[in-house]
């Protein structure tokens, strides 16, 4: 069992004194709060080193080089990769997914080839492959969802043939929070030499990831989803595939040789993909975030998150004003609406109670047509959330009526005049 009070002391933002309303952060799928350990690691870079990597023949630069490789090794172990060189630093999951699409997919697709995905994917997972399909004259085929919104594995099996070259999926979907059976999908895909690209942005925070066990070919995630800084992420790729992959960016640090005639010799992976100056302070913080989460324990985090989520869902099912879309989610994501009220207006009502949740399409424009709604509300739980916070959230859900929501909106509108 997690020592929640002790854990919450690690987060400076949770210790701020607020007199007008509480601060209950339930937008953890968008980003997570940062413990002081991570903040100190970032400041440590600026205060004591502030040197570029791979550029200087002096102590500070050498230390930064070491920290980068230490962080790469930690991440390699954290996700169960086989080789450290399979870990590429990116600016986040979005760049990582673009690198897989344009650095590898674009060069291994031709007219008539098929990419399989679903309408539940985040735009950062879908849009690169839509563009690659357009540029290569490949086709995107959509794996059906079942009645709950989960990927229909039986339908997917029927779609596998020699034309399918890539399957691109989220490990955990960011709206409905369902865990895709990636290991089974990889087993089926590899029987037909199909490459599997996994968006791990939502699963990395609370699921025990082992990319070798999953046997996925690419796995992308961001640091800020696991208590790390923004501006840093990772693309994992199998070593044999990275040898064939091209960079997204070309510049300093990625090459061994180039000449006036256009001959370019690139370094080996991961360095050929890391042109220019990396987000060095973010790597310092990312490394500390990995240590912090491992000290708490990913399995303990998942247990706590799911305990709070199941409790919240159980109570929300009793509320006649609430529409739940994913009561059986495999994560801390609760997606819902309040009957008869636009999601954005309800989010303002929650904000007035000091509760941070997200409203809108959540970068999944195709999914909301499937859900038969323009937008939804998403509350997402993490390990520093408490039962008391969930009770306050539930009380706000219970009292989310048109009268209460619009009273707040109109009052705030009058204050702006």
Radius of gyration, alpha carbons of the chain: 23
How far is it, in rounded angstroms, from Cα 10 to Cα 90? 27
Residue 168's DSSP bridge partners are: 197
Torsion (CA) 225, 227, 228, 229 in degrees, nearest 10: 80
275 burial level (CB within 10 Å; 0-12, 13-18, 19+):
middle
Please check whether residue 142 is in contact with residue 173, taking contact to mean a CB–CB distance below 8 angstroms: no
98 burial level (CB within 10 Å; 0-12, 13-18, 19+):
buried
| 363 is known as an active-site residue | yes
Alpha helices (runs of H) in 160-279, residue ranges in sequence order: 182-190, 211-214, 239-242
Do you know the residue count of the chain? 417
Residue 189: phi and psi, rounded to 5, are: -65, -45
Residue 223's DSSP bridge partners are: none
How far is it, in rounded angstroms, from Cα 13 to Cα 388? 18
Instruction: Using alpha carbons, select from 296, 314, 396, 384 the residue that is nearest to residue 354.
Output: 396
Which residue in the list 125, 227, 363, 405 is annotated as catalytic?
363
The per-residue DSSP string of 269-283 comes to: TTGGG--S---HHHH
Enter the tokens of residue 372: 């038969």
Please check whether residue 322 is in contact with residue 394, taking contact to mean a CB–CB distance below 8 angstroms: no
Catalytic residues: 363
């Amino acid at each position: 069992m997690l020592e929640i009070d002790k854990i919450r002391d690690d987060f400076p933002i949770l210790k701020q004194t607020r007199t007008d309303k509480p601060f209950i952060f339930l937008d953890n799928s968008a980003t997570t709060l940062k413990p002081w350990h991570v903040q100190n690691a970032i400041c440590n870079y600026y205060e004591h080193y502030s040197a570029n990597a791979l550029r200087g023949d002096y102590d500070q630069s050498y230390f930064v080089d070491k920290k980068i490789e230490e962080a790469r090794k930690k991440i390699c172990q954290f996700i169960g990769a086989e080789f450290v060189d399979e870990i590429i630093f990116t600016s986040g999951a979005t760049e990582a997914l673009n690198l897989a699409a344009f650095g590898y997919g674009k060069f291994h697709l031709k007219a008539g080839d098929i990419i399989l995905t679903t309408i539940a994917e985040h735009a950062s997972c879908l849009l690169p492959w839509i563009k690659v399909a357009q540029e290569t004259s490949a086709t995107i085929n959509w794996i059906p969802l079942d009645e709950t919104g989960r990927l229909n594995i039986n339908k997917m099996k029927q779609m596998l043939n020699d034309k399918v070259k890539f399957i691109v999926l989220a490990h955990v979907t960011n709206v409905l929070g369902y865990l895709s059976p990636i290991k089974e999908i990889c087993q089926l895909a590899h029987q037909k030499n199909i490459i599997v690209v996994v968006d791990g942005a939502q699963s990395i925070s609370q699921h025990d990831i082992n990319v070798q066990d999953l046997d996925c070919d690419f796995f992308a995630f961001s640091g800020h989803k696991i208590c790390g800084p923004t501006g840093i992420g990772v693309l994992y790729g199998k070593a044999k595939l990275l040898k064939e992959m091209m960079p997204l960016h070309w510049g300093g640090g990625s090459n061994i040789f180039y000449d006036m005639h256009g001959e370019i010799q690139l370094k080996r992976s991961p360095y050929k993909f890391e042109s220019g100056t990396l987000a060095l302070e973010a790597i310092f913080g990312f490394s500390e975030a990995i240590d912090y989460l491992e000290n708490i324990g990913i399995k303990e985090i998942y247990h706590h998150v799911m305990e709070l989520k199941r409790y919240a869902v159980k109570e929300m099912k009793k509320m006649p004003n609430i529409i739940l879309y994913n009561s059986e989610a495999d994560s801390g994501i609760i997606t819902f609406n309040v009957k008869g009220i636009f999601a954005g207006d309800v989010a303002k009502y929650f904000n007035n109670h000091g509760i941070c949740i997200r409203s809108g399409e959540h970068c999944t424009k195709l999914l909301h047509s499937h859900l038969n709604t323009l937008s939804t509300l998403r509350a997402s739980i993490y390990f520093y959330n408490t039962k008391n916070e969930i009770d306050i959230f539930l009380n706000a859900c219970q009292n989310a009526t048109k009268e209460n929501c619009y009273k707040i909106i109109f009052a705030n509108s009058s204050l702006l005049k």
